[in-house]
Structure 1
Amino acid sequence: MSRIDQSREFLPVRIAVLTVSDTRTPEDDRSGAALVERIEQARHVLADRRILPDEREMIAEQLRRWVADPDIDVVLTTGGTGLTGRDVTVEAHRDVYEKEIDAFGTIFALVSWQKIGTSAVQSRATAGVAGGTYLFALPGSPSACRDAWDAILGPQFDYRHRPCNFVEILPRLDEHRRRK
């Protein structure tokens, strides 16, 4: 069973947050604020925070900039994971991924199922890796962001989490680029 190994030192990761919305502003971005609150409470570093409209190319370009930034380990986006015509965050993420973390969407759906029942089927939460950076696309609901952090991301971004976690393999995510 998973647990926190208190004999290990906590290692903070540097996380950027992108809210995808045609209507949100820094003053009313509750989902981005929920993520920032969780990041700071967990003692990680907020590396950057932005808001962009639901435009696939703009989202993908921002993801690529953050992937290229050596001071960012993780990107969390919120919004644009639904089924409507303007929901293009998942497609933008997949334009950038080198590898998809397939189980993330499944585990997120299981977490959501317990809160919202069959409505969980409407989320297309996804995750992947590119350029040694983790990328996670979360729904635009503050509750969904808190659920994703509390049930999945918080434990996985804690180096002390056992039996394994995302932090311990972070240095190896881009090892294929270093091979000769």
Structure 2
Amino acid sequence: MSHLKIDHRKLSVSVLTISDTRTADNDKSGMVIRRMLEEAGHQVTDARICPDDPQQIESSLVDWFGTPSIDAIITTGGTGISHRDVTIETITPYFTKTLDGFGELFRFLSYTEDVGSKALLSRATAGTVQNQAVFVLPGSSKAVALAMEKLILPELHHIVHELKKHLAE
């Protein structure tokens, strides 16, 4: 894709950990996301933790949706199939577009790299909300590191470029 002229500036990303049990001291997955973003030269503009509660998830995200200075949002937690896992049902109605390939590739990588057939339990997904990329990751720090290293960080600039190029025209 050498024809693309992608701006490789520092991107602004907000991070939301969704869990009934995580605190600032033990939010390993949130820490992994923030560390990997910063090591890649990006800025974490906000990081929050909220319980597995649709209203509290929505409240955190609605603050970020439509904020032009936020390029992407990454969530971790609540993507499984248990009764308390409500992240997917809460976030996906806001998607302007879905990035189906993200979930497909994530589950493939999870299957081949470590998890095996248990990968089918993951409902990890991604999409866009207007001009923002939104990644919805599992709560496992190993899964988060895999998604960040293999999928999100290699494509984040390209995704944001595609979402915002019309603003420069």
Give the TM-score taking structure 2 as reference length: 0.90
Question: Identity of aligned pairs, percent?
Answer: 36
Q: Structure 1, residues 119-152: CA drift from partner, whole Å, max 9, x if none?
A: 1111000111112111111000000000000000
- 1:149-160 to 2 correspondence within 5 Å? 149-157=148-156, 159=157
1:54 equivalent among 52, 55, 59: 52
The residue matched to 2:9 in structure 1 has which SS?
Answer: coil
Corresponding residue number in structure 2 for 1:95: 93
Q: Residue 23 of structure 1: CA displacement?
A: 1.0
Q: In 2, Cα distance between the equivalents of 1:44 and 1:152?
A: 16
Question: Is residue 132–residue 173 contact of structure 1 (8 Å, CA) maintained in 2?
Answer: no
Code of the residue aligned with 2:85 in structure 1: it is D
Question: Is residue 132–residue 174 contact of structure 1 (8 Å, CA) maintained in 2?
Answer: no
Closer, same or farther in 2 for the Cα pair 1:150/1:97, shift >3 Å? same
Q: In 2, Cα distance between the equivalents of 1:170 and 1:149?
A: 19
Question: Is residue 12–residue 43 contact of structure 1 (8 Å, CA) maintained in 2?
Answer: yes
Closer, same or farther in 2 for the Cα pair 1:83/1:72, shift >3 Å? same
Q: In 2, Cα distance between the equivalents of 1:57 and 1:174?
A: 31
How many residue pairs get matched? Answer: 166
Question: Is residue 17–residue 76 contact of structure 1 (8 Å, CA) maintained in 2?
Answer: yes
Q: In 2, Cα distance between the equivalents of 1:62 and 1:95?
A: 15
Q: Structure 1, residues 138-167: CA drift from partner, whole Å, max 9, x if none?
A: 00000000000000001002x4xxxxx213
The answer on 1:140 being equivalent to 2:134 is no
The residue matched to 1:10 in structure 2 has which SS?
Answer: coil
Q: Residue 102 of structure 1: CA displacement?
A: 1.2
The answer on 1:121 being equivalent to 2:120 is yes
Q: Structure 1, residues 73-98: CA drift from partner, whole Å, max 9, x if none?
A: 10000000000000000111112111
The answer on 1:168 being equivalent to 2:161 is yes
Question: Is residue 20–residue 79 contact of structure 1 (8 Å, CA) maintained in 2?
Answer: yes
Give the TM-score taking structure 1 as reference length: 0.85
Closer, same or farther in 2 for the Cα pair 1:10/1:59, shift >3 Å? same
Q: In 2, Cα distance between the equivalents of 1:84 and 1:172?
A: 39
The residue matched to 2:92 in structure 1 has which SS?
Answer: helix
Q: Residue 170 of structure 1: CA displacement?
A: 2.7
The gaps in structure 1 that reach 5 residues or longer are 160-164, 176-180
RMSD: 2.2
